Amino acid sequence: MSKEELRDLLIKEAWEGLKNSYSPYSKFPVGAAVMGADGQVYRGCNIENVSYGLTVCGERNAIFNMVVHGCKTFTALAVVTSGKGDAAPCGACRQVMGEFCENLDTPVYIGGGDGEVLETTVGGIMPYPFLKFEGVE
């Protein structure tokens, strides 16, 4: 599959994921999709809660869906919103992306309601990542 085909597939799957968004508080629906290293596509959407801290973003839900199905690495990710602006991942999502991405050059596609798609990488949106815990002795 070409890079363009992968981007188009994941954007399409992210829009499908967005259909299940539960976002009654922010009115900012988000859909996401990841291509697992196993060749499968995993979708996610944001799920809000009246206690905002319990909300889970679409990107994390897509990644966690992948992990639930036995795959621990993704090779590309797309995230979209029908709201104004784009769906740039929050800091928590970027940290989780760093944990499960193939490498920091893993493609990330960010789409908004205007149909434009920003292409970047995990490393591009998360420079100087915290990815290794040495612990203390």
φ/ψ of residue 120, rounded to 5: -145, -160
Q: What does pLDDT average to in each consecutive run of 10 residues of the chain (137 residues)?
A: 97 98 96 99 98 96 99 98 86 97 97 92 93 71
137 labelled catalytic: no
Q: Does the residue 96 lie in any domain?
A: yes
Q: 116 among the known binding-site residues?
A: no
Print the domain residue range for 25. Answer: 3-125
Tell whether 114 is covered by a domain: yes
Look at residue 136 and tell me if it is in a domain.
no
Q: Is 50 annotated as a binding residue?
A: yes
- CATH number reported for the structural domain that contains residue 104 in this entry: 3.40.140.10
2 annotated binding-site participant: no
CA dihedral 72, 1, 20, 57 (to 10 degrees): 50
Catalytic residue among 5, 13, 16, 59: 59
Q: For 58-92, what is each residue's pLDDT tens digit?
A: 999 999 999 999 999 999 999 999 977 778 999 99
CA atoms within 13 A on the CB side of 28: 15
The total of structural domains in the chain comes to 1
125 is in an annotated binding site: no
Local structure of 47: helix, strand or coil: strand
Distances (CA, A) of 107 to 11, 55, 96, 102, 123: 12, 25, 15, 10, 9
Structural domain contains residue 135 = no
